[in-house]
Amino acid sequence: MTLAAHRTDGLLGKTRKTSESVLFNDQKMKLGVFSSNTSGGIVMTDAPSGFRVTWDQQLEIATTADRMGLEAMVPVGRWTGFGGNTHVHAVCYETYTWAAGLAQATEHIGVFCTTHLPVIHPVAAAKMATTIDHISGGRFGMNLVMGWFTPEMELFGNRQLEHDERYAYGQEWLDFVMELWNQPGDFDFDGRYFHSKGAHAYPKPLQDPRPVLLNAGASPAGQRFSARNVDVNLVALPVDQIGGYVGNIKRMAREDYDRDIDVWTYCLVICRETEREARAAYRAIVDAGDWPGAQVVMDTLGIQSQSFGTQITQFQESFITSWGGPCLVGTPEQVADQFAELSEAGLSGAIFGFHDYVRELREFGSEVMPVLRKYGLRQ
């Protein structure tokens, strides 16, 4: 057997086109769980919750999502917390090993890592990704992050690159990884950021030519990187801005790179029997919110308010409740209505978090999923 034949060695015994991934099924609105691997999840608050970063809870969340037929488990990649009152995200499972564990424990759902390109060398990333793709039987995906939080870069002794250069670095990183996944023999790589002699990686991923890729770049450089390279671009925008954004990035992908791309969002879901209960749960998160922690994130991202008082509070509240993403709050019917609005605006998927993942995910499955099926968003 030649080394080139090693792409077929694995759990499936054959290659699987990336386009055959569960993420490209015929569900109108793809759904997934987001940020369950890190303390606080998608909220920054001291409001009481049963959610803890334990492996038992991770398994319960993932297997529940798998049984529900959701498409994706997407973690947040963090190497240090954000300070503030809760030191949000200071407790975090590393995402390659997290994905490997959940891949073994699940059967159908797509399992992602979130990889910070400046701190994981392409040779290591290519090998780890392939391993998890084989463990999962071809269900693995990668969320590519350019490294926006400077303290994390400094933790590894790296110099933080200017914004657009991060995407130039990321493009070379991905080009190198793609060669490792697809070249049948040894090769030399000589780029601006990476130099390697006699590079190779065996076996190859089960997915051909690569695992599913996701990126959350929304700046001009980020959109271009996504349009050129990935399957899903992840955004957080007001509903009235989604249509224009989706149209632009899809047009860029089609006209400049002759390819298709999907656009998803991330959000917080608060579903209760009555709207009053849901609003009260939302208010409890805000009232116990980690306002200093939210300010750290806003400062790091360079978000500046254009006015006083109320607008500053609104920005911080958005990060406290959903890291700037939408909040879907209400009864099962109202939450389903809000998913429908996102779909009608042009999104083809949403990954979401909860204040208390285990309990609320189960309730989402029993209460919201039937309404989504009634609306034709799920089958």
Please give the domain boundaries of the chain with CATH numbers for all domains.
3-374 (3.20.20.30)
The percent of residues in the chain predicted with pLDDT above 90, rounded, is 79
For residue range 251-273, list pLDDT tens digits in order: 999 999 999 999 999 999 999 99
Please indicate whether residue 19 or residue 250 has the higher confidence score (pLDDT). 250
Q: What is the pLDDT, as a whole number, of residue 14?
A: 60
Give the residue-averaged pLDDT of 133-137.
98
Residue with tokens 């002794």, as numbered in its chain: 157
Q: Lowest-pLDDT range, 38-47, 49-58, 145-154? A: 145-154
Residue 303, pLDDT score: 60
What's the confidence (pLDDT) of residue 84? 84
pLDDT band at 229 (very low <50, low <70, confident <90, very high): very high
How far is CA 211 from each of CA 77, 90, 177, 180, 347, rounded to the nearest angstrom? 18, 28, 11, 13, 22
The least confident of 318-327, 332-341, 355-364 is 318-327
pLDDT at position 75 is: 98
List C-alpha distances in Å: 192 to 55, 117, 130, 168, 220. Answer: 40, 15, 25, 9, 22
Instruction: For residues 133-162, give the mean pLDDT.
Output: 93
Query: Is residue 308 very low, low, confident or very high in pLDDT (cuts 50, 70, 90)?
Result: very low
b/e per residue, 159-168, with b = 16+ CB within 10 A? ebbeeeebbb
Per the prediction, the chain carries an average pLDDT of 92
pLDDT confidence band for 148 (50 / 70 / 90): confident
- Interhelix angle 239-257/220-229, nearest 10 degrees: 50
What's the rounded mean pLDDT across residues 176-191?
97
Interval 80-88 mean pLDDT: 85
- Given this model, what pLDDT does residue 194 score? 98
Number of other residues whose CB lies within 10 A of the CB of residue 379: 10
* DSSP characters over 132-155: HHHHHTS-EEEEEE----HHHHHH
| Mean pLDDT, residues 359-367 taken together | 98
